[in-house]
Chains A and B, each alone.
Chain A
């Protein structure tokens, strides 16, 4: 059994529990001229976890990362790493590994010199540097490229070298700023898994910035969805995806349909609501609702079951919509259908490809379980 000790003050303390707030932002704010990029944000990142900051461009995720890195100075608020306030620590003393979108390998240095760069400033003896660099290159599965120049490697290989360069210094926190966005689709998938595995193997606290929801959902322990400098929701990927806290999160993650409605009354664990055209539906409430509250129903495109209207039979605990297919797009394994209802609203449904897919103009029904219809409060800020 390996037991880790950590020095706290004078005592040696058995390090059993991982620090739940290894990285901590407290009331952090960043202003660029008149623009408020990050607004009074609080965020805690547990030790050893992989946390993604997810959001559209301009949401403040990169700014947050750069403040932690020491590349931007917060306008107000505090940043802590392992309990220590680092606001006034310059970047080169923070012991962080940063991975940039464009790799940022030093073009005039060999791969070996690139990876060894950080060790030079850490009083590591020459012989140890060689061992560490070789080990790091093996970790990223690129042994024996030490003598090459960065320009002689492919994009994916360069990104792995950047990874090796960042982990060889054993950073307290690994920061990744959209590291996969410069790679092409297939490679991105591989690199994503590789980063995920590597992170678990090393157990290094990692913060990953991305605008790609698939990256965020597939590799994170925790997803932090951001917009306009605010945290919209944070939680495990499943939680954020299935129980989106608001319209923005539901809309940003996956494909969602939104239907405006008015709350009618409670019925068992569901709420009965009416749409604008007086259709009655049942939905799962998120939070407290009163009768006559305005609300909206969120339905994931994948949750609909389609069928020809002629074959429709009513089912227990299922809402049903009727309409005409107005558009469809084939996406390989699945098909996207756009169905126009009588109210002229168009719903988006994604179904697996069947032998005879529906065609434009087909009259169809769409069934969806009550449990998959979530009722959200109308977001005033929107």
Chain B
């Protein structure tokens, strides 16, 4: 009974996704089952659509820079929260995690109002700042969780052996933290790459991301190109974490000399 129920849930969850991927290969303009043949026509058409390619490039650039910035801020912040005591620590930590709890619409409007108040135009920089705010909590949480697991004794041992605090961080803490940093980066990238709600508020005509672009296209017509684009997005967002997991496992395996 439970098994059947589980199966139904999976079917419920994945059928639309599978439908999108399948329809991407449908040569017909209006998708219907059963499909009449298989074709890459929409993918080809997609690759000639310069606005989509631009959006794709925007998404990649935005995602990458967001990931790097979020990690660059998140790792030292996590270090401070876990390893040091200072006044207002709890408050500051909650503040940085808060964007997870605040509805994205609110966040989107808030940042927009703020920029208006500063009398600045919408720009790529605004989008970037927004995405860093959105993704920072995830990086922070992942890195903090790992840092709690790294015993202080490793660092204390390194210090006692003569390494100064910076050398200790580089030689001991950072390598032990690397998987979490990597995971955090990946998370940040994926979230930035996927985000629609907040990005709708922040994106300018020039800095549209793929999801926003799809959203815009959907308003005009349901072109099968979207299916193709959806398929590409699915492949990307699913394969990236898998690839990363595989690489990190291979890397870790080599380090300990085990296969």
Residues of A within 8 A of B (CB): 69-71, 90-98, 100, 102, 104, 106-108, 117-118, 120-122, 148-149, 151-152, 165, 169
Closest to B150 in A: A107
**Known interface pairs A121-B167, A151-B256; A98-B176 also in contact (CB < 8 Å):** no
Min C-beta distance of B157 to chain A, whole Å: 4
A106 touches B256 (CB 8 A): no
Q: In the bound complex, what is the Cα–Cα distance between A173 and B175 (angstroms)?
A: 29
A107 touches B153 (CB 8 A): no
Is residue B87 contacting chain A, with contact meaning CB distance below 8 A? no
Would you give 5 A-B contacts (Cβ < 8 Å), ordered by A? A90-B159, A90-B164, A92-B165, A104-B153, A121-B162
A98 touches B160 (CB 8 A): yes
A117 touches B161 (CB 8 A): yes
Q: How many A-B residue pairs have CB under 8 A?
A: 70
A97 touches B158 (CB 8 A): no
B151 touches A92 (CB 8 A): no
**Complex contacts, A122 vs chain B, CB 8 Å:** 162
Q: In the bound complex, what is the Cα–Cα distance between A104 and B164 (angstroms)?
A: 17
Q: In the bound complex, what is the Cα–Cα distance between A149 and B161 (angstroms)?
A: 19
B158 touches A106 (CB 8 A): yes
In chain B between 202 and 259, which residues have their CB closer than 8 angstroms to a CB of chain A? 255-257
B164 touches A98 (CB 8 A): no
Is residue B79 contacting chain A, with contact meaning CB distance below 8 A? no
Q: Is the interface of B mostly helix, strand, loop or mixed?
A: helix
0/1 per residue, B123-162, Cβ < 8 Å to A?
A: 0000000000000000000000000000101101111111
Sorted from nearest, which 6 A-B pairs have the closest CB atoms?
A: A118-B161, A121-B162, A104-B153, A98-B160, A104-B157, A91-B159
Min C-beta distance of A371 to chain B, whole Å: 47
A92 touches B162 (CB 8 A): yes
Is residue B172 contacting chain A, with contact meaning CB distance below 8 A? yes
What is the size, in residues, of chain B's interface with A at 8 Å between Cβ atoms? 22
**Known interface pairs A106-B172, A151-B256; A91-B160 also in contact (CB < 8 Å):** yes
Q: Is the interface of A mostly helix, strand, loop or mixed?
A: loop
Is residue B163 contacting chain A, with contact meaning CB distance below 8 A? yes
A106 touches B154 (CB 8 A): yes
Most buried by A among B151, B159, B161, B167: B161
**Complex contacts, B159 vs chain A, CB 8 Å:** 70-71, 90-92
Min C-beta distance of A91 to chain B, whole Å: 5
B257 touches A149 (CB 8 A): yes
B172 touches A118 (CB 8 A): no
A104 touches B161 (CB 8 A): no
**Complex contacts, B165 vs chain A, CB 8 Å:** 92
B154 touches A92 (CB 8 A): no
Q: In the bound complex, what is the Cα–Cα distance between A98 and B160 (angstroms)?
A: 7
**Complex contacts, A118 vs chain B, CB 8 Å:** 161-162
Min C-beta distance of B143 to chain A, whole Å: 17
Min C-beta distance of B89 to chain A, whole Å: 15
6 more A-B residue pairs beyond the given contacts A92-B159, A106-B157, with a C-beta to C-beta distance below 8 A: A70-B160, A96-B160, A100-B156, A117-B161, A121-B161, A151-B256
Q: In the bound complex, what is the Cα–Cα distance between A41 and B50 (angstroms)?
A: 77
B154 touches A104 (CB 8 A): yes
**Known interface pairs A98-B156, A104-B151, A106-B154; A121-B163 also in contact (CB < 8 Å):** yes
Q: In the bound complex, what is the Cα–Cα distance between A91 and B158 (angstroms)?
A: 10
B167 touches A69 (CB 8 A): no
Min C-beta distance of B228 to chain A, whole Å: 44
CB < 8 Å neighbour of B158 from A117, A148, A152: A117
**Complex contacts, A70 vs chain B, CB 8 Å:** 159-160
**Complex contacts, A96 vs chain B, CB 8 Å:** 160
Min C-beta distance of B221 to chain A, whole Å: 54
Closest to B255 in A: A108
**Complex contacts, A100 vs chain B, CB 8 Å:** 153, 156-157
Q: In the bound complex, what is the Cα–Cα distance between A218 and B26 (angstroms)?
A: 83
B160 touches A92 (CB 8 A): yes
0/1 per residue, B165-178, Cβ < 8 Å to A?
A: 10110011001100
CB < 8 Å neighbour of A97 from B160, B172, B257: B160
Q: In the bound complex, what is the Cα–Cα distance between A139 and B164 (angstroms)?
A: 28
Closest to B153 in A: A104
Q: In the bound complex, what is the Cα–Cα distance between A76 and B255 (angstroms)?
A: 46
**Complex contacts, A121 vs chain B, CB 8 Å:** 161-163, 167
**Complex contacts, B163 vs chain A, CB 8 Å:** 92, 117, 120-121
B157 touches A108 (CB 8 A): no
**Complex contacts, B255 vs chain A, CB 8 Å:** 108, 149
Most buried by A among B160, B164, B255, B257: B160
A102 touches B256 (CB 8 A): no
Closest to B157 in A: A104
**Complex contacts, A95 vs chain B, CB 8 Å:** 162
Q: In the bound complex, what is the Cα–Cα distance between A106 and B163 (angstroms)?
A: 13
Q: In the bound complex, what is the Cα–Cα distance between A96 and B160 (angstroms)?
A: 6
Closest to A151 in B: B256
Closest to B252 in A: A108
**Complex contacts, A91 vs chain B, CB 8 Å:** 156, 159-160
Q: In the bound complex, what is the Cα–Cα distance between A121 and B153 (angstroms)?
A: 19
A102 touches B151 (CB 8 A): yes
B157 touches A98 (CB 8 A): yes
Q: In the bound complex, what is the Cα–Cα distance between A102 and B151 (angstroms)?
A: 10
A108 touches B175 (CB 8 A): yes
B156 touches A149 (CB 8 A): no
Most buried by A among B162, B175, B176: B162
A108 touches B176 (CB 8 A): yes
Most buried by A among B151, B167, B171: B171
CB < 8 Å neighbour of A165 from B161, B171, B176: B161
